[in-house]
Structure 1
Amino acid sequence: MSVALFSITILFAYLLGSIPTSVWYGIGYFGVDVRRLGSGNAGATNTFRVLGKRAGTIVMLIDVLKGWTATCLAPLLYYFNAIGDSEVLTYKIIFGIIAIVGHIFPVFVRFKGGKGVATLLGMVLAVHSELALVCITIFILTLIASQYVSLSSILATLAFPVLSLLGVFGQPDPLLVAFGFAMFLLVVFTHQKNIVRLLKGNESRVNIFRNSKRDQ
């Protein structure tokens, strides 16, 4: 692939990830900037907390779609013979990570975005859908049991490289395992404050199954 095409694709993946879904949706439909309420985070979890289940679900799905679309740029390039078959996974990971970086540091809202979990989920769905579904199950079960989104996100993210390493879905791919652990460290980094609150026992719980006033 040429340097020009690679640069354009990287830029597109970053701008795609940079779309501040929670901010634009909150202001556009509710006149509310979610960064000024709740945890102050521009992500799906705070949208659930501030604007309710319906808004949170919409924001989450769009953020997932951002990661999935950016990652799928790799097979699109392969379809047009811009990259080889052996390079698809590498470029999937590159473009997906760039989208996550865009979500965390979005150019459209002064580089202050969300924590990237939903966008990471979209990326993982495009990279390894079967493993992603297992991680989603772990996330949901942990959330039901604890009502902590942060804890659910951390455990679900950790499950990806661990299950990859154990070869649950076939021979372990070193690149996939390394990517998984790198993403786990990124999630831990973006959830530092949440981890401190979890250890202190004062982390906020989110009951996504309860309707808020905005959903009624």
Structure 2
Amino acid sequence: MNVLFFMIIAYLLGSIPSGLWIGKIFYGKNLRDYGSGNTGTTNTFRVLGVKAGSITFAADCLKGTVATVLPIMFGVTQFSPIVIGACAILGHTFPVFAGFKGGKAVATSAGVLLGFAPLYLLFLLAVFLIVLYLSSMISLASIISALVGIVTTLVFPAFHFLLSGYDFFFTVIIIAVASLIIVRHRENISRIRQHKENLVPWGLNITKQEPRA
């Protein structure tokens, strides 16, 4: 019963549409009407600016961290806490407070890892930043990080590198969430193949993207 309670709390936490609410309350803008139409961190940065984007990222990340550590704080150990954290990711992607149309789960997934495997998160963050610098694309950095997450979740525990051993729930959830992140970026993948993907003003843009004005 306690596990179900925390799963519901985690889903509701994840369902808080940070970027959407910040845009409507403080900027008078509905993110769904601008840019990519997504309510996550990247589109918030693009439409509302650095301040709003940073706050949205922090809020979305915090949702995942709180959902993961909350059951630990209350001594609920029947299931791995990452199972609870995964409910926050589900809420962020399909939020009950925003018509079940949410973000792409990158920031909230990072928050879950921060609460469960912080050193592994730092490794994936390094991968993300390297790809971002080379490509100037948050989307590609997210996709590559997700792919690396799938591979390393299967490989690292065998060598006790960053992950001490195989954890069934951790492995299944990381693979599932990484796959979800990739699927949620399918439109970005199409634009990347056409060399029309949106860029950030940082990095080398080695694939020579030329986004539409």
Residue of structure 1 aligned with 2:200, choices 200, 206, 209 = 206
For residues 56 and 109 of structure 1, the distance between their equivalents in structure 2, rounded to whole angstroms, comes to 18
Q: Paired residue for 2:57?
A: 60
How many residues align? The count is 198
Q: Judging by fraction of residues, say which structure has more helix.
A: 1
Residue of structure 1 aligned with 2:186, choices 163, 184, 192 = 192
1:35-74 matches, within 5 Å, as 35-74=32-71
1:170 to 1:98, Cα distance in 2 relative to 1, 3 A:
closer
For residues 18 and 126 of structure 1, the distance between their equivalents in structure 2, rounded to whole angstroms, comes to 18
Query: Could you tell me how far 1:163 is from its partner in structure 2?
Result: 2.8
The percentage of aligned residue pairs carrying the same residue is 37
Residue of structure 2 aligned with 1:19, choices 16, 21, 24 = 16
For residues 90 and 148 of structure 2, the distance between their equivalents in structure 1, rounded to whole angstroms, comes to 21
The unaligned stretches of length 5 or more in structure 1 are: 210-216
Q: Secondary structure at the match of 1:114?
A: coil
Matched, 1:120 2:109: yes
Query: Could you tell me how far 1:117 is from its partner in structure 2?
Result: 0.6
More deviation in 150-159 or 168-177? 168-177
* Preserved contact between residue 86 and residue 173 of structure 2 (Cα < 8 Å): no
What letter corresponds to residue 169 of structure 1 in structure 2? Answer: L
For residues 198 and 172 of structure 1, the distance between their equivalents in structure 2, rounded to whole angstroms, comes to 36
For residues 46 and 151 of structure 1, the distance between their equivalents in structure 2, rounded to whole angstroms, comes to 15
Query: Could you tell me how far 1:171 is from its partner in structure 2?
Result: 4.1
The two structures have a TM-score, normalised by structure 2, of: 0.86
Q: Secondary structure at the match of 2:74?
A: helix
The unaligned stretches of length 5 or more in structure 2 are: 204-213
Divergent runs of 4+, >4 A: none
1:71 to 1:38, Cα distance in 2 relative to 1, 3 A:
same
1:105-116 matches, within 5 Å, as 105-116=94-105
For residues 174 and 72 of structure 1, the distance between their equivalents in structure 2, rounded to whole angstroms, comes to 17
The two structures have a TM-score, normalised by structure 1, of: 0.85
1:23 to 1:6, Cα distance in 2 relative to 1, 3 A:
same
1:68-83 matches, within 5 Å, as 68-78=65-75, 82-83=76-77
What letter corresponds to residue 59 of structure 1 in structure 2? Answer: T
